[in-house]
Structure 1
């Protein structure tokens, strides 16, 4: 199953973000700590590189992620040029209070009354950008919801006298290259429900959890995992919860929905779906011509209107 979701407003948001980047000193990129690299929009990295803007990468929802794996990801990102990574929960005021100080450390040449620090908050849908924005300003200025793509317009707000925040809509990218990335994003509710089949996403998620977090599945649902695959796990959820349809068969659809909700809410425990090592292995597999999915993706690009920020006006003197 290949999941793609790129509503029209995201293309408009991408263009506006490219234009606004010229007058930004720092990008605050929010990702999901449970799938840090899969939830990174590659267009953000390209845009930052072109404008030479540093990044404060926030691994949000860290209270729902595997702490050992989160530590590995923080080390991975901090080894990258121009990136400062931190793990926190945007729902915890003490965590959010660290962000302004960290931002000033990343861009020490700004942050005065004459030269306020200009920051842009970016990320894919439903990773917590609006929650972070509201927490920083200590008031509700951005809509927050459990559905992806709640924010659809860009807004500019002031954080004290010395900082300016630009909030951007959640943006995915036109083609998700790796099917497993699309499934991880779907499992974590970063794509619209119209772009996925919950039963297939739940089966994928169950297969992933069987590999590293079987003990959490057993603790949550109380069944023996011996010999199980992803389909059997979802059927087991149906059996344990008594989900049946007319005729007595398991209600696989309802069980899949409940299983995904358990993961998304953190009820299953602290889970991370990818590690730096597993990511490297994934990329290596797609560089091999022996990967049929990689071959199928070649020449399968959809034509679309592209905004080439490399040809956009570059008034770098405005950076100060």
Structure 2
């Protein structure tokens, strides 16, 4: 199944983004720390390339810590942008964020000009959670489903700054389908827009290759089989994901795997590594 998800509100939001770029001094792009490459929107880069940028790796508590450290260094060295890491226990606060903003804009700021920052990212990347942390109160709805935020909102910060929160944006054509599958694993794309069995199978293959011990521990499997069918049967038996005749329920196993990964029950796992790391 070819994965594609670009509902009408995203098309509208992309047009609005073109307009507010002209009125803004910087952009903060949020990417998922578990897959920074796949969750970085190329359309966003094209629209905002002239703006100074800060990249925030969100959900750092769900990603492999060493891999996230490598990603932070890689992003800062290759894209020449500041990169911050945010997680549940150590969210970014307003003071630290504005310190970074003022640093990269020190020569561009004008006392008479409106100070406005765009915050953007793919759906379900954690924008609303970060916003609520920055403001210290709930200004945005949060949830595990993508497309919670569908309209822009403008929020006042300290030091005369305003933050424009934009809806989560994908791009019209997901040409790299492996990246699309990774986005689906993260929960960036609605479950109704993908084949759950296919995405669960893709995740299981990745875990078997990259994190076999995680599968052993979580699902009490002695040895990881070479056959994906046998692996699914093992997980089905351990999780009760069975059809009436005792056959594995492939859809249910896929959903169990995805839920365990997304929630962090499998541990801190990253699906991508920077190019220069083995």
In the alignment, which residue of structure 2 is the partner of 1:17?
A: 17
In the alignment, which residue of structure 2 is the partner of 1:143?
A: 141
1:264 paired to 2:258: no
In the alignment, which residue of structure 2 is the partner of 1:233?
A: 231
Shift of 1:156: 1.0
- Kindly report which structure 2 residues correspond to 1:203-214, keeping only aligned pairs within 5 A, or say none: 203-214=201-212
* 8 Å Cα contact 1:112-1:162 kept in structure 2: no
For the residues of structure 1 that align with 2:276 and 2:245, how far apart are their CA atoms?
Answer: 42
Shift of 1:110: 6.3
In the alignment, which residue of structure 1 is the partner of 2:198?
A: 200
In the alignment, which residue of structure 2 is the partner of 1:123?
A: 121
> Taking structure 1 as the reference length, what is the TM-score of the superposition?
0.81
Gaps of at least 5 residues in structure 1 are 282-320
In the alignment, which residue of structure 2 is the partner of 1:84?
A: 82
- Of residues 93, 118, 130, the one that matches 1:96 is 93
For the residues of structure 2 that align with 1:189 and 1:229, how far apart are their CA atoms?
Answer: 26
- Range with bigger deviation, 232-241 or 106-115: 106-115
> Taking structure 2 as the reference length, what is the TM-score of the superposition?
0.93
| Cα distance per residue 1:161-217 (max 9 Å; x no partner) | 421100000000011111111110001100011111111101100111111211111
Gaps of at least 5 residues in structure 2 are none
For the residues of structure 2 that align with 1:111 and 1:146, how far apart are their CA atoms?
Answer: 37
- Kindly report which structure 2 residues correspond to 1:23-38, keeping only aligned pairs within 5 A, or say none: 23-38=23-38
CA RMSD of aligned residues (A): 2.1
The size of the alignment, in residue pairs, is 277
For the residues of structure 2 that align with 1:79 and 1:93, how far apart are their CA atoms?
Answer: 24
- Kindly report which structure 2 residues correspond to 1:1-320, keeping only aligned pairs within 5 A, or say none: 1-49=1-49, 52-89=50-87, 91-92=88-89, 94-97=91-94, 98-109=96-107, 114-115=112-113, 117-277=115-275
